[in-house]
Structures are given as C-alpha cells and as structure tokens.
Amino acid sequence: MWMAKPSSSLIRCPPASSSSSSPNFARLTCSSSKDALAPFSRRIKSLSEEELVGAAASPRRRLVLRGFPGGAEAFELVARFCYGGGGGVTVTAANACAVRCAAQYMEMADSPAATAASTAPSLVKVADKALEDMPHWPWHCVVDAVKQCQSLFPLAESTGVFDKVVGALLAQMAIPAPGDATPTSSSPESSAFRFSCDTKCSSLSLRRTWWFEDLVVLSPGMVERVAKALLARGADHGIVARFLFYYLKCRIAGAGAEDKKAMLEAAITVIADLDRSSVSCKGLFGILRIASPVKLAAGCQEMLVAMIGRKLDHATLDNLLVQAPSGTSSLYDVSLVLRFLEAFLRHGDEPGRLKKVGELMDLYLAEVAPDPSLRPARFVELATALPAAARDCHDALYRAIDVYFQVHGRLTDDEKMKICKGINYEKLSPECCKHLATNSGFPTRAAVQALASQHTVLKGIIRHSGPLKPASPPPPPAAHRESYDDADGDSNGQVVLYASRLELTLENQNLKSLLDSMHWRVMELEKVCSRMKTQMTKMKASRRGGGAAAARSLPRMCS
C-alpha cells in the first residue's frame, strides 16, 4: 500500500496481506511525511533530529520503523490522524487495541506540538477513551480484541490493553448464554482423553462454559496468558480447568509435535496454579498419556508428576499401568509410579488417603510382579515405599511377593530377604502365615520370623483378654492343660491355656482354634532353630566343598 500526501513525500507500509510472521515495518520518505508526523509523535521527532545531526540533508532520506504494532492498517490510521491535524480517524472496537499500541510505539501520549496556550490532540487518549467502553462491546468484538493482542505483545501488556481485554472477557463470561450448547455436552468417548472434572457441575456452571468454543482458536501462549489473567481476577478455578481440558481435546488431534508440546506445556503451567480439588485426576492422566511421546520441558514434567502425585488416592490401577519407555525391557514404567509415590508422600499424610494409596499399590504390585524383566531392586522400592500406616493387612503384599519369587526363580536367599523386609508379619492373616510357613519359595528365616511374630501377637491378645473365670465347676483335670515355649528361644516364659475355663467370645474362639492348629508347628520350629545354631559353624566350613550335604542335613519344614 502506497500513500502520497503531498506528492513530494512517500509513506510506505507493508501490504495488508503480508505474513504476520514477518516483521512489520514502515518507511517514511522526506520531507513532508516526517514533517506531518513529527508534531504528534515524539519518536518521529527524535529520529528526524538525530538524522539531521548525523548526516547531510537529502530529499530522499528514509526512516525505517521495524516491528510496528498492528502492521500496515494501524500505521495508516496513525498517519491519517497526523495528517488530519489530530482528527479524521474513528477509533472503533475493531481497531482500538492496535491503535493504542501503535500510538504507544510512536510515543503519541503527549504531543510535541502541545503548548501552554494550545493543546494538540493525543492519539493515546483517544484510544484509551474507546477502550473504556470495552466491557459493553458485543462479545464477538471482545473475542477479536483478544485475538489482536496475540500479535501486539509486549505492548499490549505494558499499555494495559491486555488487562482491559481480560476484564471485558470476565465481565461477559459471567453472563450465561441461554440456548447455547455447552462444549461439555459433546465430549466424545473416542477423544484422546475425556473432558472431565472430579466435581459435579451445576446447570449454572455448565451454562458458563458457552465461551469455550470462541477462545479455543487462540495460540498456546495466549491461552496461558488469558487463563492466568482470569485466575488473577478471581475466575472460578473449576471453569478454567475445564476450558484447558477442552482446549487440548479440540486442538491436540492433528497437531504437529512442536505444537503439541507448546499446548501441553501451556496447559500444565496453568493447571499447576489451580486448586487441587478443581482438577480431575482422570484428566491429568489423560495429559500424561498424550505427553508420553512428546519431550516436555523438565520443569513441566515435574509439575505434571507432582500434580498426579497429590491426587494419587483418586487414581485407579489402569491409570498407573503406563507403558515403559521405548528401549527398556520392562512392561510398565515403574520409575514413574515411584515418582508419583514420592510426590504423594510429601502431601498425603491423612490416614484415609494413605490407606487408599496402600490398596492401590497392592494391586499394582500384583500386576507388575509377573514381569520377568522387573529387577529385584525396583520391586523392593515398590514394596517398601509406603509407611507402615498405609496397610492394615499385608496379605496382598505377601501374595504379590510370592508371585514375584515364582517368576524369578534364580533369586538368592539374601535377595529374597531384602524383598521380605516389606512384610510386617504381625499384619498377616493366619491363613497367609500358614501358607508362608509351608512355602518352599520363601527363605526359612522368613518362615521362622512369620510364625514367631504370630506367636507374639496371639500371646498379647490372650494376655489382654481379661481375667480367667471358671466356665463351670468342677475345675478341669490337669490332663486338659496345654503349654508351649516362646518361639524366640526364651524357655523361661510359658503361656498356659485353660481352654475349658475361658469365657471366650467368637473372636477368641477362632484364636483358640488357631492356637491348637499352630501349637505343634511352633514346637517343631524351636527344634529347627536349635539345630541351626549348632550347625552354623559346619555350614560355613563346608560352603565350598560340602555345602549341598550340609543343606540336606537341615530338617525339612513341617507340611
């Protein structure tokens, strides 16, 4: 586009159809063009003065303005304003943002021509007056203003234009749009991840999402800026979260790797600032699945892991079964789950949440235990990651370890004992304890510790069950008395059971039955322990030559 006024001066701007990716510029050719703009623009005035000082005057001198905000159309409006003596330009909703940024670029806040007696008009003031009415603009004009701001940064931010646009957005978002279909009602099952939230939404909150479709066309950087600005002005965190998930659902499909990365990083950065209750755990795992093949920035990866970790008590087994990275032999990404656990333990100190994660980890351990490529060190980390309060019963943990031992048949006893450290034998049920005692896959030391701990638990229960009372006279004969020694080798203390003299509840009756069935096993284990102590020296001496014979000389566990 070429403009000439008067004929001896030229103002050259880039054509309106030029690519937005190329830098905007304007060339002013002396003399009348600069003379017309200088009285209203301090930038043009100072550039003209510098050129006159630095070089001899020339009738074809040029000033090049690079990075001109708003491009050719905005520069034309600025030029018309100057040629019209501060008039002849109508600032509307369609051009107010660009004109305001262009005026700031040209330093037209205070006109150089202003004097004490006469004040020349200021294009900045004219644009600001038009922007004051932005909250009352039609919705489509506000959306257009948001789109314009994408190419006007950083001037849009420094001039306050972007802040006014966000204020207008928030004011109109609060107004429901009756009759408009909400984006949430058309979320397909086949999408990369479902548009969901942990909190149920009222009909009013659904009506407040009518604006999603209009802003989904924004660039990732602009989405991040708009979302953060809305949060800073008190926007509902749940609505912002829903918009981000909807934005990803609509834009991720078909996008290139770099575009996906930009979208995901923008969404993660904003979601990290939201309330934990406003973000769906299902949605976070959906982002994780999409981000797996994309190399996110390390900071964004950590933020995503931390957010999932804080909500790990809402996760399911399917969520945790993330495929291992390419190039590894394992089936599942165990390292990622361990990072989730670390993040959870930094915040998950409530007993209820801790036990939910304990149940989830028992399921996960049972799922990954059959993996032949899962190294013992990783399995130990999984089994021992949670504190003792996370599990009331260790039966599921024992069963997972049992499966792991069956699949990994070449483990040594020392390696097995390291894995067994995760088991609290006192929290095993009698059935599991009985199974462990006869399980040839577990080391003998583990079986001894299991039965010894059960012995201790039962002693404590009986000791605190209350005073002994005769069930019926006369007292039972001495032949009905049974006793056994402590399993830890302490022969001084004995637990004497008078079964017929105890007034037992249903629970204590079960315990009595258990004692009867385990009594002879404990005595047999005492003999095993005694013989192991006397043969320990022989086993060490015969480790190289007679190790097999010494091992065969040990008594077999009772079946």
Domain boundaries, given as residue ranges, for the chain: 25-52+60-110+121-136
Residues whose CB falls within 8 Å of the CB of residue 258, separated by 6 or more in sequence, listed in order: none
C-alpha pair distances (Å), 250 with each of 190, 218, 270, 280, 296: 12, 12, 18, 18, 20
Average pLDDT for 144-166: 91
Are the C-beta atoms of 187 and 194 separated by less than 8 Å? yes
Give residue 541's pLDDT.
65
Closest by alpha carbon to 360, among 332, 390, 384? Answer: 390
Amino acid (one-letter) located at 398:
Y
- The mean pLDDT of the chain is 75
Q: How far is Cα 64 from Cα 483, in angstroms, rounded to an integer?
A: 104
Average pLDDT for 187-216: 56
Is the whole-model pTM more than 0.85? no
- Work out the pLDDT band at 472, boundaries 50, 70, 90: very low
Q: How far is Cα 32 from Cα 9, in angstroms, rounded to an integer?
A: 5
Q: How far is Cα 271 from Cα 242, in angstroms, rounded to an integer?
A: 10
- More confident: 198 or 400: 400
- Would you state the structure tokens that stand for residue 350, as one six-digit string? 């409530």
Q: Which range, of 24-38, 173-187, 191-205, 220-234, averages the lowest pLDDT?
A: 191-205
Give residue 342's pLDDT.
95
Q: Please report which helix (H) or strand (E) contains residue 254, including its range.
A: none
Q: Which range, of 172-176, 250-254, 425-429, averages the lowest pLDDT?
A: 172-176
- Would you state the structure tokens that stand for residue 412, as one six-digit string? 């040594």
Total residue count of the chain as it appears in this document = 559
Q: Which range, of 30-44, 185-199, 467-481, averages the lowest pLDDT?
A: 185-199
Q: What percent of the chain has pLDDT over 90?
A: 37
Radius of gyration of the chain (CA): 39
Q: How far is Cα 545 from Cα 164, in angstroms, rounded to an integer?
A: 87
Helix (H, G, I), strand (E, B) or coil at 465: coil
For the segment 9-66, what is each residue's pLDDT rounded down to a tens digit? Answer: 334 444 433 333 344 445 554 455 667 777 787 888 887 776 655 555 555 566 777 7
Q: How far is Cα 250 from Cα 253, in angstroms, rounded to an integer?
A: 7
Under CATH, to which class is 25-52+60-110+121-136 assigned? alpha beta
Are the C-beta atoms of 311 and 284 separated by less than 8 Å? yes
pLDDT(311) > 60: yes
pLDDT(189) > 80: no
Give residue 519's pLDDT.
59
Instruction: Scan for tokens 């900071």, then name that residue.
Output: 299
Average pLDDT for 411-423: 92
Average pLDDT for 75-85: 84
- Would you state the structure tokens that stand for residue 487, as one six-digit string? 């399993």
